Amino acid sequence: MSMTISLCMIVKDEEKVLGRCLDSLSDLVDEMIIVDTGSKDATKRIAAGYTDKIYDFKWVDDFSKARNFAFEKAGCDYIYSADADEYIDEKNREKFKKLKEALLPEVEIVQMYYANQLEQGSLYNFDRELRAKLFKRVRSFTWVDPVHEHIRELPLVYDSDIEIKHMPLGNHTKRDLDIFAKSVKKGIKLSKRLNHMYAKELMIGGRDEDILRAEEYFTWLCEDEETDGESLKDAVCLVVRGALLRNDSEKMYHYALKEVAMEPASEVCYFLGKYYYQKKNIKEAIIWFYNAAFETESALDIRYNGEYPFDMLKECYKKLGNEELALDYEKRLKALKDDQKL
């Protein structure tokens, strides 16, 4: 007997994509639960063509609360969490059907591949990555080990080969950054995970004004004695970028040197290169761009470890009249972009 599955979604103004998503899932799940957070378009009408389990939830700038509300409405063995801007194509729908028939009851989480990540350029460094998508609704505790027995606390996770197409009409960076900014303005201390996500989304998709708005928070994070090494590295990247935008070389150097004294991130090396490039000190700029490309690893955005420094090295060598090296970096940049398209 196959497991039953509840689809749980939170939606708002998704009339352009919701039908595509629900069409791809309608015969794979046993119930559909749609939680609307304030749509002003035809989203709820479209959802009503698939299910009568439609609920309203007042938006409070908290996705977790909305998703938990949706999960509470589920009644099947497993819960499938989906966003309106994703869908499953026919090849992967067949895989999903086979998974549903063969899923062992001890499996508590099933991961699936989330694809098309780079198309909108929000906070992703990889085009395809595993994500937890299917969750056992009622988790059972199991004793393990023949001696010194203990309760298995970590969930049993199965990595499937099902691929979900993520096809948003636009990216959600502004929405997400606004939520982050409101949270820190209220004095909410973000978790280590959220600090990293905030920094990552700022670095990959943030506008200059977003960086400047967040600079005070990440400066505070740099000075907080409880900040761990990884979070400090992320924070320094944002503070250095903000100081560079404001032409505050003293602050930029102060925090960049903190990073360089440890294990510098590509982002910091790149911003130091930009500083010297703007000062027309091209030879010094080359040193830092080279470090960004070849001697360091990126903390938040892989483009600072390849694409961006390659482009600036090309420009630097052009200014020095070295056409051979300029062409070399132009070729490296093209090859890198071609690889990313594969």
DSSP letters spanning 32-54: EEEEES---SSHHHHHHTT-S-E
Same domain, 30 and 135: yes
In Å, how far are 122, 228, 288, 309, 330 from 333, measured between CA atoms? 21, 34, 17, 9, 5
Spatial neighbors of 146 by CB under 8 A, at least 6 apart, are: none
Q: Indicate whether 123 and 182 sit together in one domain.
A: no
Q: Are residues 25 and 154 in the same domain?
A: yes
**Residue 12 is encoded by which pair of tokens?**
């708002």
257-308: pLDDT as tens digits: 877 777 889 999 999 999 999 999 999 999 999 999 999 999 999 999 999 9
**Rounded-to-integer distance, Cα 69 and Cα 8, Å:** 10
Mean pLDDT of 208-232: 94
Per the listing, tokens 């499937």 go with 160
Place of tokens 């400066």: 219
Q: Where are the beta strands (DSSP E) in the chain?
A: 5-11, 31-36, 54-56, 78-81, 86-87, 109-115, 129-136, 142-144, 150-152, 157-166
Do 19 and 158 lie in one domain? The reply is: yes
What pLDDT score does 186 carry?
Answer: 86
Give the pLDDT confidence score for residue 122 in this predicted structure. Answer: 47
Q: What's the count of helices (H) and strands (E) in the chain, helices before strands?
A: 13, 10
Q: Work out the average pLDDT over 173-197.
A: 87
Q: Evaluate whether 26 touches 58 at the Cβ level (below 8 Å).
A: no
Q: How many domains does the chain have?
A: 2
Judge if 124 and 9 occupy the same domain: yes
Q: Smallest Cα–Cα separation from 93: which of 158, 4, 25?
A: 25
Domain boundary among 136, 166, 196: 166
Q: Which of 166, 193, 216 is the last residue of a domain?
A: 166
- 151-182 tens-digit pLDDT: 667 889 999 999 998 887 766 778 888 888 98
User: Which tokens is 107 given?
Assistant: 């499996």
Say whether both 104 and 235 belong to one domain. Answer: no
Give yes or no: residues 188 and 231 share one domain. yes
Domain that holds residue 73: 5-166
Q: What is the CATH number of the domain that holds 208?
A: 1.25.40.10
Say how many CA atoms lie within 13 Å of 2 toward its Cβ.
12
pLDDT tens per residue across span 18-62: 999 999 999 999 999 999 999 999 999 999 999 999 999 999 888
pLDDT at res. 309:
97
Same-domain pairing of 217 and 107: no
Give, to the nearest 10 degrees, the angle between helix 192-205 and helix 208-223: 150
In terms of domains, do 185 and 266 share one? Answer: yes
Residues 293 and 160 grouped into a single domain: no
Last residue of a domain, one of 118, 133, 166: 166
Residues 132 and 261 in one domain: no
